[in-house]
Structure 1
Amino acid sequence: MSKSTEDSDGFQKVKSKRCAKNKPTKIPSKCIELEKQEIAIDFDKVFKRINCAVDDIKLSNFFGDVIKSVSNILNAKNVVEIVCLGLGHVAECNISRYQLALLLCLKDSLKPDNVLVHDPIFYKSECELLTKLGLEVILENNEGNYVISDKGPTVVFFPHCPKQLTNNFLWSNWGPNLENCVLICNSFTSLVDNQPSRILSETVPFIFKIHPHTSEQALNNSFKYTDIFNDTAIHHFPKEHLEKLDSNFWTRGDKPAYENTEEFITSLMIQKLNI
């Protein structure tokens, strides 16, 4: 049996005999054996750290800007659900913990019916932790193919997620119901400005197509840790913009497929790694 070691966050890593590449959002696309880790969490200690992060977020000008922008978009409509994909290891990573704190602050302020979370790399103990925080963990890796409600607004939070995941999400919801989506993720404008149109139209066509019809508000990166929410923007798809698009625009075709990428964790990768 391998040895267990405890780190400063109050949990133990239990390692198997295989060598690990411990990256929170990347798995190599080549067939490389990776270690599966599980951790035993000191829940009291981790909850204390999360609560401190929540207090930091709640009192920050950054959160004030976020909730003001989202509230202006919602225009007094009640949020049906919040969906968050790609948080990473919330028990061990400081960045993930603060992103979780933002999610919890949004939950407290917007009071949705449900808050759903998923990341294919969550440990079982992290799923238990998130459940204790009142969040519903999606167990299946649907690769971003989540269909939002048509009953009212959904706030979608993809913190520093791969663009392929966002592209899949748009494909799944491709149609006028996008007006019910408020999407907090990496800036579309930044992506479009920094990559050739030909590449974007081939690799993430749904981001590329919807960008001209998107209302985007860049967030001032004013939080005290500037590497946590950098390049984050709030996107929404105004009804008056979408109504101008003809039916041909909404032809979506087959589910997107991606080649030669190391940043997007597919369900097939998870099956192969037996995670």
Structure 2
Amino acid sequence: MSKSKIDSDGFQLVSTKKSSKKKVLVPRNDLHLKLDSKIDIEKSFKRIETAVGELECSEYLKSVIKAVSNFLNDKNIVEIICFGLGHIGESNISRYQLALLLCLRNKFNPDKVLVHDPIFYTDECELLKKLNLTLIEENTEGNYIITKKGTSLVYLPHCPKQLTNNFLWSNWGLNLENCILLCNSFTSITEISDRILSETVPYIQKILSLTQEVYLDNNFVFKDIFNDTSLHFFTKKLLESVSSDFWNNKEKPQYTNDVEFITSLIIHKLTV
């Protein structure tokens, strides 16, 4: 990416230059996986409706829609995939992040909207179905292969960086031009040493120079909902600027002793 600047539509394009800014991690508590708390589905449904109403009239939603629309031009979003919403029946942050997902669905009218989080309670799954969202039942750890028949919007709200890394690995290739990633800023993620990046999230590190990142001003009324969130695009021109060897080197990521990332192995150990 080029040096930080404001584009013609008023969006700040983020530079890859490293700074002293500290990234705030949002670790997950594995103990939540051992519980299946009951929630008031109807009450939660109404709270989410209220959150959607607040977002619909917000400048934040307008900026997200404008940035996505600028990238799309005459293309359509055919699917939205969302990982890592958290406990939507309990958490105010999760509730508004879900509200943004619903606003994006209402605006772009995709063929399908898929959601998954390994910590969802049974009642939260029922709530998501009531909202006409499709659950991904298996914990694929972010390894979802996007369609080649249109644009996929992949929404990873405050998710562990390993989830984003896995998604990139599973779609490693020129089809990334059909992807829009709404997630934690790649620039912020890569503000750690190159050695640690290459060991932990190599695909984020590799794709960074081929990424166009649009910083989203955190101007929503609650500042802890969408902080450090950016849109990430991968244009055909940039993706084709590297050799085929760049794409052919595709070793599956491995993670060890990482408390912020819930793997399928952790789920298995807690359910046997």
TM range (shorter): 0.7 to 0.9
With over 3 angstroms needed to count, the CA separation of the structure-2 counterparts of 1:86 and 1:25, relative to structure 1, is farther
Deviations 1:180-221 (A, max 9, x none): 0000000001122x2011211121000000000100001000
1:207 paired with 2:204, answer yes
Give the partner amino acid of 1:50: I
Unmatched 5+ stretches in structure 2: 1-25
Does the 8 A contact of 1:174 with 1:252 survive in 2? no
Following the alignment from structure 2 to structure 1, what is the Cα–Cα distance between the partners of residues 168 and 180? Answer: 12
Q: CA deviation at 1:35?
A: 6.6
| Structure 1 match to 2:101 | 103
| Structure 2 match to 1:184 | 182
Does the 8 A contact of 1:176 with 1:239 survive in 2? yes
With over 3 angstroms needed to count, the CA separation of the structure-2 counterparts of 1:35 and 1:171, relative to structure 1, is closer
Does the 8 A contact of 2:82 with 2:154 survive in 1? yes
With over 3 angstroms needed to count, the CA separation of the structure-2 counterparts of 1:45 and 1:34, relative to structure 1, is closer
With over 3 angstroms needed to count, the CA separation of the structure-2 counterparts of 1:102 and 1:199, relative to structure 1, is same
Q: CA deviation at 1:245?
A: 1.4
Unmatched 5+ stretches in structure 1: 1-23
TM-score by length of 1: 0.87
Following the alignment from structure 1 to structure 2, what is the Cα–Cα distance between the partners of residues 263 and 59? Answer: 33
The root-mean-square deviation of aligned C-alpha atoms, in Å, is 1.5
1:133 paired with 2:131, answer yes
Following the alignment from structure 1 to structure 2, what is the Cα–Cα distance between the partners of residues 127 and 88? Answer: 11
Following the alignment from structure 1 to structure 2, what is the Cα–Cα distance between the partners of residues 224 and 56? Answer: 9
Give the partner amino acid of 1:205: P
Give the partner amino acid of 1:236: F
| Structure 2 match to 1:61 | 59
Following the alignment from structure 1 to structure 2, what is the Cα–Cα distance between the partners of residues 93 and 142? Answer: 23
Deviations 1:254-274 (A, max 9, x none): 320011210000000001011
181-190 or 247-256: bigger deviation: 247-256
Give the partner amino acid of 1:260: N
| Structure 2 match to 1:250 | 247
Following the alignment from structure 2 to structure 1, what is the Cα–Cα distance between the partners of residues 87 and 216? Answer: 24
Give the partner amino acid of 2:144: Y
Higher RCO (CA-CA < 8 Å; seq separation 6+): 2
What are the within-5 Å matches in structure 2 for residues 106-121 of structure 1? 106-121=104-119
Q: CA deviation at 1:42?
A: 2.3
> Matched residues, percent identical?
59
Following the alignment from structure 1 to structure 2, what is the Cα–Cα distance between the partners of residues 177 and 53? Answer: 34
| Structure 2 match to 1:15 | none
Aligned residue for 1:149, secondary structure, equals coil
Give the partner amino acid of 2:83: L
Aligned residue for 1:44, secondary structure, equals helix
- Pick the aligned partner of 1:221 from 218, 221, 233: 218
| Structure 2 match to 1:26 | 28
| Structure 1 match to 2:271 | 274
Does the 8 A contact of 2:60 with 2:218 survive in 1? yes
| Structure 2 match to 1:196 | 193
- Pick the aligned partner of 2:151 from 135, 140, 153: 153
Number of residue pairs matched by the alignment: 247
Does the 8 A contact of 1:62 with 1:221 survive in 2? yes
Q: CA deviation at 1:253?
A: 3.0
Following the alignment from structure 1 to structure 2, what is the Cα–Cα distance between the partners of residues 140 and 62? Answer: 32
Following the alignment from structure 2 to structure 1, what is the Cα–Cα distance between the partners of residues 89 and 216? Answer: 26
